[in-house]
C-alpha cells in the first residue's frame, strides 16, 4: 500500500526560512530510516509558491487562466512530501508519527493519503521507458 505523507506549507516555508541544523539532521536520519526499512519511494521539498503558478480551468470550458505565485498560506499549499510503500495504514501512520517537526515554528501539519492502487499502472520509470521503446520498435516493424 502506497501512502503520501504531505507536509503542509507554513509562513516559514513560504518565506524560505531555513530550519536549524538539529532539525535538518533529524529529517535526514528519518529519511535514512525509511530507506533502511525498504519503504521509501520518494521524498522531496518544494520551493515556495512564489516560484510556482496555478492553472485554473473555467467551469464551462474556455481558455485556462495562469496565475503566478505567491499564494496565500492555507490548507491547499504543501511544502514537501514523502512517498512510502508499506503493508498497512497503521504502519504508514507509525512512519508519519515519526516524522520530525521543527520546534518553534508554529503549527506543523502532516496529511497522510493513500494512493490509488491500479494494477495496470506501471510506476517504475525504467519499466515505463522500456515499454515506450518496445512500443516504438513494434510501430517501426509494422511500417
pLDDT digits (tens, 9 = 90+) for 64-77: 999 999 998 876 89
Could you say which of 3.30.110.70, 3.30.70.1060, 3.20.20.70, 3.40.50.10540 is the CATH number of the domain covering 2-142?
A: 3.30.70.1060
Contact 9, 49 (CB under 8 A): yes
This prediction's pTM? 0.77
Could you state, in order of their start, the residue ranges of all structural domains in the chain? 2-142
Closest C-alpha to 40, from 92, 76, 75: 92
Between residues 51 and 139, which one has the greater pLDDT? 51
C-alpha cell at 28: 535526514
Q: Per-residue pLDDT for 123 more than 90?
A: no
What are 71-75's contacts with CB under 8 Å, separation 24+? Answer: 73/9, 73/10, 73/11, 73/14, 75/8
Amino acid at each position: 500500500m502506497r501512502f503520501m505523507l504531505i507536509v503542509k506549507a507554513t509562513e516559514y516555508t513560504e518565506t524560505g526560512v531555513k530550519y536549524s541544523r538539529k532539525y535538518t539532521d533529524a529529517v535526514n536520519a528519518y529519511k535514512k530510516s525509511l530507506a533502511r526499512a525498504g519503504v521509501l519511494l520518494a521524498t522531496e521539498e518544494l520551493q515556495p509558491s512564489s516560484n510556482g503558478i496555478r492553472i485554473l480551468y473555467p467551469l464551462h470550458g474556455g481558455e485556462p487562466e495562469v496565475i503566478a505565485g505567491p499564494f496565500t498560506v492555507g490548507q491547499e499549499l504543501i511544502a514537501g512530501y514523502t512517498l512510502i510503500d508499506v503493508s498497512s495504514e497503521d504502519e504508514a501512520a507509525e512512519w508519519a508519527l515519526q516524522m520530525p517537526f521543527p520546534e518553534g515554528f508554529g503549527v506543523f501539519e502532516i496529511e497522510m493519503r493513500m494512493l490509488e492502487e491500479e494494477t495496470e499502472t506501471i510506476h517504475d520509470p525504467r519499466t515505463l521507458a522500456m515499454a515506450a521503446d518496445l512500443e516504438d520498435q513494434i510501430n517501426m516493424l509494422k511500417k
